[in-house]
Amino acid sequence: MRKAGLLIPSLNFLALVLVFILFTKSGFADESEAMQQAGEFYRNGEFDKAIEIYEDLRNEGYEGTSLYFNLANSYYRVGELGYAIVNYERALKFSPTDEDIKHNLAFANLSTVDRIQPLPTFFLFEWWEVILESFSVNAWTYTAFIFYLILLFLFVFYFFATSISQQKIILFSGLATLAVLAITVSLLIVKANREQTQISGVVVELSITVKTSPDTKSTDAFVIHEGLKLKLEDKLDDWVKIRLADGKVGWLLEESVEKI
C-alpha cells in the first residue's frame, strides 16, 4: 500500500501538468460575430476586408484552425502567396491531419519558385518525424490524458479484483498502458519543446538576396523567393539567420520573413 500511496500523487501531478498544457495551449474559440462578418466578406469577394478582420482577431490573441485557414485562403485570393502559405502552416500546427489544409498548402506551394531538395535522413528518423507531426501539441496532450485515466482506472480495479488471475491481467494491462503513456508524454514534450525552440518562417517578399553575414555590404550568398519555408536560427538587430532544407545558411532582413 505504501507504493500505492506514492503512485497516486505522482499520477495526480501528471494529470495536473497535462490539464495545464491543455488550457494554456488551446486557442480561443473561432465562432464569433467578427468571424461571421469576415466570412461574409470572403463570400462576396471582398477579400481585403476579410483579411483586415482576420488580422485584427489574430492581433487580439485569437488563434485556431478556422482563423488561420480562412486568412490563408483570403491572402491567396489577393495574390499574397507568402502570407497565404505562412497561414496555412499555422493552421496545420493546430490540425496536422486536416486534408483541406494539406491540399490547399500543397496547391499554394506549386506556385513557389524555389525547389529545395532536403538533406537525406535515416529512415528511422523519418518514421519518428511522421509520428511526431501526426498530432498537434493539444492532440498529444489529450491522448496522454486519456491513457492517464485508463491507467488510473486500472489501478483502482486492481485493488477490487477478486482473484489473483484478475490482478495479473490488470497488472499487465497497467504496465502496457504505462509504457504507452510514457511514450506519449515523451512525444508531447518533444513536440512542445520543438515548437518553442525550432522556429520556422516563410519568405513574404517576391525575391530576396541572402547575405553571408548580417550586413548589407556582405557577400551575396543566394537568392530565394516568396513562399519558401525555412528555419530561423538566430537574430541580430534587424537580421535573422536562416537555414534551408538543403542545409544552406545565410542572413536576411527580418522584415522579409513572417514567422509561422
Q: What is the pLDDT of residues 141-193, one digit of tens each?
A: 989 999 999 999 998 888 888 888 888 999 999 999 999 999 999 999 988 88
- In terms of Cβ atoms closer than 10 Å to its own Cβ (0-12, 13-18, 19+), residue 254 is middle
- Least Cα distance to 85 among 241, 194, 244, 204 occurs for 204
Q: What is the strand order of the sheet 257-259 is part of? A: 220-225, 207-211, 249-253, 239-243, 229-236, 199-203, 257-259
Q: Are 219 and 210 in contact (CB under 8 A)?
A: no
**CA 109/CA 129 separation, integer angstroms:** 21
Specify the DSSP element, H or E, that contains 221. Answer: strand 220-225
DSSP reduced 3-state for 78? coil
C-alpha cell at 233: 536560427
217 — pLDDT class (breaks 50, 70, 90): very high
Task: Please provide the average confidence, as pLDDT, over all residues in the chain.
Answer: 87
pLDDT for 20 equals 53
Which architecture does CATH list for 199-259?
Roll (2.30)
Query: Quick one: average pLDDT of 243-247?
Result: 93
**CA 232/CA 210 separation, integer angstroms:** 13
123 — pLDDT class (breaks 50, 70, 90): confident
Say how many Å lie between the first and final Cα of the chain, rounded.
Answer: 49
Query: Quick one: average pLDDT of 83-105?
Result: 95
Query: Is the pLDDT assigned to residue 80 strictly greater than 60?
Result: yes
103 — pLDDT class (breaks 50, 70, 90): very high
